[in-house]
């Protein structure tokens, strides 16, 4: 007996005789075939979990525990929330405030040496804070005009004569006085502000290029400047 004959026998046994005509049998056969096909389609395809929006409370382990489910990784936002909760339960990571960089203050102090006036002016911004008389380079040894900066500072310097090589230690007879503020060098020769035991030369063109000052004035100037202070020499 084939499937069609079996179904016909089954139909004749469970339905009234008035419906067991050939036409009725054909309709019921179609109905049963459709039911069988639907049943086979459902049970022959493996279940695949639908991917849904994962909430922040979901975890990979929790999703994988569902029978026959395909794990779906949580979103980036969910991962961040989980990390925050695991590190600090009940605490959310605050946003960092904008931090403005702290810039160094601009150098406002500068020295302006006027060769014609034979005077040095101490500026802070546009304001003259102090000025002092000086001696500048004599003809043939002129103090060079230009823009420089303080490159060396010494208290009680010694001195070596560039002509004889004689060394003179610090003291009242030292040609550099008791303070030195250097602003130019070629690696062998040096030019700077310094004190002097020869007070009569101040206000004159009398030096070999350096800028002589009264000892009491060079001490004051020494306290006003720093390494890197601009020095402008002008005619």
Asked if 194 is an active-site residue, the reply is yes
Q: Which of 8, 43, 210, 217 is catalytic?
A: 210
Q: How many CA atoms lie within 13 A of 157 on its CB side?
A: 21
Q: Which of 17, 43, 88, 194 is catalytic?
A: 194
- Residues 124 and 87: their CA atoms lie apart, in Å, by 54
DSSP symbols for the chain = --HHHHHHHHHHHHS-GGG-SHHHHHHHHHHHHHHHHHHHHHHHS---PPP-PPPTT--HHHHHTSTTPPP-PPPHHHHHHHHHHHHSTT--PPPPPP----PPPP--EEEEEETTTTEEEEEETTEEEEEEE-BEEPTTSPPPPEEEE--EEEES--EE-TTT--EE-SSTT-TTTTEEEEEEE-SS-EEEEE--S-GGGTTSEEESS-EE--HHHHHHHHHH--TT-EEEEE-
Considering only CA atoms, which of 151, 110, 137, 152 is closest in space to residue 212? 137
Asked if 210 is an active-site residue, the reply is yes
Which residues are identified as catalytic? Answer: 194, 210
């Amino acid at each position: 007996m084939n499937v069609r004959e079996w179904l016909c026998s089954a139909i004749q046994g469970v339905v009234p005789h008035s419906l067991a005509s050939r036409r009725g049998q054909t309709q019921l056969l179609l109905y049963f075939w459709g039911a069988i096909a639907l049943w086979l389609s459902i049970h022959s395809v493996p279940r695949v979990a639908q991917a849904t929006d994962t909430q922040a409370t979901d975890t990979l382990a929790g999703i994988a525990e569902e029978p026959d489910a395909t794990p779906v990784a949580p979103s980036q936002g969910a991962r961040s929330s989980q990390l925050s909760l695991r590190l600090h339960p009940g605490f959310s990571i605050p946003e960092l405030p904008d931090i403005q960089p702290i810039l160094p203050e601009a150098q406002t102090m500068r020295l302006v040496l006027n060769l014609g006036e034979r005077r040095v002016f101490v500026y802070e911004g546009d304001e003259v804070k102090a000025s002092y008389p000086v001696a500048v380079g004599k003809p043939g040894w002129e103090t060079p005009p230009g823009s420089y900066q303080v490159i060396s500072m010494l208290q009680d310097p010694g001195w070596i004569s560039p002509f004889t090589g004689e060394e003179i230690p610090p003291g009242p007879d030292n040609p550099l006085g008791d303070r030195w503020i250097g602003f130019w060098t070629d690696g062998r020769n040096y030019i700077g502000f310094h004190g002097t035991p020869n007070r009569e030369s101040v206000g004159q063109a009398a030096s070999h290029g350096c800028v002589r000052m009264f000892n009491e004035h060079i001490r004051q100037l020494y306290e006003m400047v720093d390494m890197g202070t601009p020095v402008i020499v002008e005619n």
